[in-house]
Structure 1
Amino acid sequence: MSIDEIINSISALPENSRSRLKKHITEIRYPKHFCLMEANKVIPFIYFIKKGIIRAYASTGENDITFWFGSEGQTVISMKSYVEDLPGYESIELLEDCELYKLETGSLRKLFNEDIHIANWGRKFAEKELVKTEELIISRQFKTASERYKDLVHDKPDLLRRVQLGHIASYLGITQVSLSRIRADVK
């Protein structure tokens, strides 16, 4: 997915503003299993996924709990680092070789002060991230694991072909055995 498509999916920008923003974005590549963000560290970057799959997880000591997957066109961010310049609680691992766009948070903040269109784009970005978080919380609180699995099949069918079942089970908050039962029931 191109950076122009990703920027416009957040909110359309006038050409001049989009060009200013793009001057601060670089394209990078990392291999599968690369740790893009580490828990308990301030992450001064925002990433946009050009190609690949990523997971966010928190470690409990005994195991990792996956709570988010990202794929082409999505944003990868530690909101705590972005908003408060404080260490985030999540780690981000690449589940495939990935091509990403990278934007330094400090550069983006400077652009917010210089260009009202970019500032409004940033507001829309934060609002969309908030809505995604709200949807995730509501899903976790009010839907069964089976309903969450069906939502995943409906909303992100490609994810099920590209991600290990152990990560999917963790994301759904169940064991792999329970996931196997749910998958058998859904078929």
Structure 2
Amino acid sequence: MKLEDILRSIYDLRDASLNKLIERISPARFPKGHRLFNTGKIETDLYFISKGMARAFLNTEAHEITFWFGKEGDTVLSYNSYIHNKPGYETIELLEDSELYRLKTVDLMELYNEDIHISNWGRKLAEYELVKTEERLISRQFKTAIERYKELIERQPELIQRVQLGYIASYLGVSQVTLSRIRAEIK
């Protein structure tokens, strides 16, 4: 996905502001399995996915819990680092060989201070991410596992082909055996 398309999908920036933002962004490529962010570290970059998939997860004593998937067009950032300049709680791992666009958080904060249009773009980015987070929380709290799986198929069908079932099961809050039963029941 082209950088300009990703940025404009968040908020339709004026050309001058868009160019200022693009000047601060650089391409990056990483292999499958690369960890963009690590738990307990202050992350100084944010990324936009041009090609590839990522997942965010937390480690517990018993296992990993996947709570987010990102694909082409999505923004990857550690909220605690971005907002508070504190260590993040998540690990973000690439699930495929990926092409990304990297932006230094310090550069973005500087642009927010210089350009109201970029500042508005950042506000829209935060708003979109908040709504997506809220939708995941509501789904997890108020829907059954079958409803969550059907919603996943409806909203993000590509995940079924591109992501290991164990990660999907974790994301849905069920065991892999339960996910297999749900899949068999739906077919």
Alignment of 1:60-99 (within 5 A): 60-99=60-99
Name the SS for the 2:151 alignment partner.
helix
Is 1:11 the counterpart of 2:5 in the alignment? no
Secondary structure in structure 2 of the residue aligned to 1:81: helix
SS for the counterpart of 2:158 is: helix
Q: Give the drift of 1:62.
A: 2.5
Paired with 1:66 and 1:158, the residues of 2 have a C-alpha distance of 17
CA distance in 1, matches of 2:29, 2:113: 30
After TM superposition, the structure 1 = structure 2 runs for residues 110-121 of structure 1, keeping only pairs within 5 Å, are: 110-121=110-121
Whole-Å Cα distance in 2 between the matches of residues 79 and 16 of structure 1? 27
User: 2: CA distance between counterparts of 1:99 and 1:62?
Assistant: 32
RMSD of aligned alpha carbons:
0.6
TM-score (ref. length: structure 1): 0.99
The code of the aligned residue for 1:168 comes to I
Aligned residues: 187
Secondary structure of residue in 2 paired with 1:58: strand
Q: Which amino acid aligns with 1:39?
A: T
Shift of 1:63: 1.1
**5+ long unaligned stretches in structure 1:** none
Letter of the structure 1 residue corresponding to residue 186 of structure 2:
V
Residues 145-168 of structure 1 deviation map (CA, whole Å, 9 limit, x = unaligned): 110100111111111001000001
Per the TM alignment, residue 61 of structure 1 is displaced from its structure 2 partner at its CA by 2.5
Q: Unmatched 5+ residue regions in structure 2?
A: none
Percent identity between the two aligned chains: 57
Letter in 2 for 1:19: N
Q: Which amino acid aligns with 1:132?
A: K
- Pairwise CA distance, 1:59: 0.2
CA distance in structure 1 between the aligned counterparts of 2:43 and 2:84, rounded to whole angstroms = 11
2:134 paired residue number: 134
- The two structures have a TM-score, normalised by structure 2, of 0.99
The answer for the alignment partner of 2:30 in structure 1 is 30
